[in-house]
Amino acid sequence: MEYTYLGRTGLQVSRLCLGTMNFGPYTTEPDSYAIMDKALDLGINFFDTANVYGRKQGEGITEQIIGRWWAQGGGRREKVVLATKVYGKMGDWPNESKLSARHIKQACEGSLKRLQTDYIDLYQMHHIDRNTPWEEIWQAMEQLVQEGKVIYVGSSNFAGWHIVQANELAKQRHFMGLVSEQSLYNLAARTIELEVIPACQAYGVGIIPWSPLSGGVLAGALAKASEGRRTEDWVQERIEKLRPQLEKWEAWCKERGEHPADVALAWLLHQPAVTAPIIGPRTMEQLTGSLRALEIKLSDDDLKALDEIWPGPGGPAPEAYAW
């Protein structure tokens, strides 16, 4: 396994991040345990979850599964750099979602209890909260850091200017601020190259791409699937919309004897701002298959060819659209 630093921190994380969103809804608890154990065996030390994962409002099913896995001991907790999230709706009352100081405190306490741990390595804001001032958010996060309940703070689904605003105000408070941003990023979704990636690079914020395979679209989607996300109607509609590109993409991968999913992950690993793509295996086979991406080396010509199949926005702003 390869390791890198999380943004500008001294924290080392694996180049692949284990996403746990399938644990509970699609992957049984025993199978989830086996996948997490295997991930550690493979050297993957970076796990990502969220308090809303599990598809049962307020219960945090996925966090509970991770907590019971940790409770087995064997140094499991000590080996894992865990990222979880706050923002999502955890109840029907007005203050049971978003980023008020009250909800941040309550959500953190809830996650710690479900996870059966004393601290969260990376506490991520799942979305921007346009109605809560940064002074309030940072005061709450600072308190959690001081209490030892949170070590680092990250964001998810932020715009470039949100990252700048957040870190400039954190700097004024002599607080470290955001160290990571979890964004939608893959060959078929490259919008963040305009503003988010340049902002992250300027502030030493590591990019953690979610949906690196575009919901399975980049994972050999033209082959008929009998189970998994690719069978869902919205994915099938997207496959048909992208069919001309997908035919070129899958042919390009086939010529090189590589599986499309592995090349898609490898492409992300070749992007200098990326810390670790999130792989969300539903099965053990999907987990172990992801490791091939670490071995694939893409030349400049390869990257250029992929740009032709999956064009980005033209580079960072404003050069992408102006002078």
pLDDT (tens digit per residue) in 98-157: 999 999 999 999 999 999 999 999 999 999 999 999 999 999 999 999 999 999 999 999
Catalytic residue among 5, 33, 53, 203: 53
| pLDDT for residue 272 | 93
pLDDT tens digit string along 235-274?
A: 888 899 999 999 999 999 999 999 999 999 999 999 999 9
Residue 175 pLDDT > 90: yes
| pLDDT for residue 307 | 97
Residues 231, 234, 235, CA angle at the centre, nearest 5°?
50
| pLDDT for residue 230 | 61
| pLDDT for residue 34 | 97
Residue 50 pLDDT > 90: yes
Tell me, yes or no, if 53 is annotated catalytic. Answer: yes
Report the alpha-carbon distance of residue 295 to residue 54 in Å, rounded. 33
Binned at pLDDT 50, 70 and 90, residue 67 comes out as very high
Binned at pLDDT 50, 70 and 90, residue 227 comes out as low
What integer is the mean pLDDT of 44-62?
95
Q: 3-216+261-309, superfamily in CATH?
A: NADP-dependent oxidoreductase domain (3.20.20.100)
- Give pTM, 2 decimals: 0.95
